[in-house]
Amino acid sequence: MSQYTSEDALLGLLLLPTECYETLSICDGGGLEADHFASPENRALYRELRALVFEMAKPTAAPRASSARLGPDISDLCEWLGRRGTAESCGGFSRVYTLSDQSSLDARWAVRQVRDGAARRETVTMARRLIEAAQDHTQPIEATATQAAAQLGNVSADASPERVLSAGDLAGAELWSLANPSQEEYLSTGIEPLDWALSGGLASQRLVYLAGRPGHGKTALSLAIASNMARRGDPVFILSMEMSATRTTDTGQERSGDLSSRLLSAESGVPLDALKALKSGTPYRYVPSCQDRQEEEDRQQLHQAAHRVAQWSLEVDDAGGLTASQVFARIRRAKARQPGLQLVVVDYIGLIGGERGEETRSTMKRISNGLNALKKELSLCIICLSQLNRKCEERRDKRPVKSDLRDSGELENDADHVILVQRPCKYEEWELYPRALWVREAKGRHGQNRTKILSFDADTQRIHPTEEEADPIRAGSAPTAARGGGGGRGPVGADW
């Protein structure tokens, strides 16, 4: 059945007094509007029919001799069109009588066909605009492609009616959720103390800024979260602009890079020094930190870990020098490849370039606004790493705060969560506490900001999922006291 025949048949159903109201209800439920009709005459007639039904429903209207549940008939419509002078725009009176004979059609199927035809015409129009935009060499092609993808993603034949919930609906949803707990409410980071600090874990449609000074563990923490989720089977995408995933040799063979080494070391438990020695062919006896280890045993553990990692639903893009438009486009393509994508890690925001001549502040604002929009549109949790300025190192405890974020005003406003990290051992006063990784949620959705001291093994880049460390700074540990403490471990439960 052709598009015009579907439209005509649907209008024919509306012209049957016994079918009018039920068909209108189906049209409303399907989100059908006059602009969805392809024929100008059909668009005009649909508007006139709706206006007539509305007029007849007024309390002041003259009562009909038939049942109140009957809609207008042909004579009612013709009288209405004649009085308003719109008969010609609707195709004339003869066409109205012809339509009443074309009503042998299911209304729901007809509504779907009309909306489908409208979506197809809209797609063709957008394709033409895309051709014109692609030929405009003054605009970056990535920006053009990103804009086109966003517009095409909104084209649908499905209705999207307004959804209004009462206070009772909200309260009922909360009570039902309490009675029916769901493990899918939050995405666990795989690190129990961190989940506690985040009041349950991460959630979709969240933008998280993970910030710290260079070398203080923000990349290690983001990789630990990504690995834990990928290990569970949740799709993860990492955009690593700072650290190479692999290196391509002259023969085209992919050799290991910094990121792949970190993932494999953390998964296997084999220290990075040992992994580096094995890859370079250096015997363990020449590596002081590996002299107590067995080469064959480590090699076997690495092979087993590599097989496990190969099963993860994890993708890495290590392209550098990307602009904001290119970053957004790559995240969209990752979502298209993996429709179930849950988590995106961007390492890090300071490496995303702006457009030519754009100021840094404007660039950061555009990136942050763009990521904030993508999290909602694609239903993602996006963890974006960020650097901190040096102000935190001027404080006695060296602890960072939200205002230490570079361009913090823009980032903090868009963020759902701001997580700050610090390794106290990076400062001379607490260098004997290498395992302590301070993590604080400086901004969150739940209103209560919490702090935990995670257990971090720098040799393997492993964050132990259930262990905590003592906080050497809050415990008042000075260098002398630390040396007397032996090992730097103390009572667990550093929450302040």
Mean pLDDT over 391-403 rounds to 83
Q: What is the mean pLDDT of residues 349-366?
A: 74
Distances in whole angstroms, Cα of residue 418 to Cα of each of 86, 181, 283, 426 = 60, 27, 44, 22
**179 three-class SS:** helix
Residue 495 has pLDDT above 50, yes or no: no
Instruction: Give the tens place of pLDDT for each residue, 265-301.
Output: 888 888 888 888 888 888 888 888 888 888 888 888 8
Per-residue pLDDT band for 105 (boundaries 50, 70, 90) equals low
CATH 3.40.50.12780 matches 192-243+318-485 = no
Mean pLDDT across 9-30: 83
Angstrom CA distances, 242 to 82, 352, 387, stand at: 72, 10, 12
First-to-last C-alpha distance (Å) of the chain: 70
Across residues 392-417, what is the average pLDDT? 77
Q: What are 203-232's pLDDT values in tens digits?
A: 888 888 888 888 888 889 999 999 988 888
Confidence of residue 353 (pLDDT cuts 50, 70, 90): confident
Give the pLDDT mean for 414-439.
86
Helices then strands, each counted (H, E), the chain: 17, 11
In the chain, pLDDT over 70 holds for what percent of residues? Answer: 80
Compute how many other C-beta atoms are within 10 angstroms of the C-beta atom of residue 148: 16
Residue range 365-387: mean pLDDT, rounded: 85
- Identify which of 367, 418, 378 has the alpha carbon closest to the alpha carbon of residue 241: 367
Q: pLDDT confidence of 177, banded at 50, 70, 90?
A: low
The closest of 100, 116, 90 to 30, measured between CA atoms, is 116
Domain with CATH 1.10.860.10 in the chain: 3-116
pLDDT for position 345: 92
**pLDDT score recorded for residue 328:** 84
Those residues with Cβ within 8 angstroms of residue 227's Cβ, 6 or more apart along the chain or in another chain:
190, 263, 266, 267, 312, 314
Largest CA distance in the chain: 104
Give the integer Cα–Cα distance in Å for 74 and 335: 51
- The residues of the chain that CATH labels 3.40.50.300 are 192-243+318-485
Higher pLDDT, 172 or 111: 111
Average pLDDT over every residue of 186-197: 84
| Least confident residue range of 128-142, 146-160, 344-358, 474-488 | 474-488
| Between 62 and 82, residue with greater pLDDT | 82
What is the per-residue pLDDT across 121-166, written as a single tens digit (0 to 9) for each? 888 888 888 888 888 877 777 777 777 776 666 665 554 444 556 6
Q: How confident is the model at residue 491 (pLDDT cuts 50, 70, 90)?
A: very low
Best-predicted range by mean pLDDT among 413-422, 469-478, 484-493? 413-422
User: Within its chain, how far is the Cα of 43 from the centroid?
Assistant: 38
Give the residue with greater pLDDT, 488 vs 414: 414
What percent of the chain clears pLDDT 90, i.e. is strictly above it?
Answer: 2
If phi > 0 it is left, if psi is from -120 to 50 it is alpha, else beta; for residue 233 that is left
3-116 belongs to CATH 1.10.860.10: yes
Average pLDDT, the chain: 78
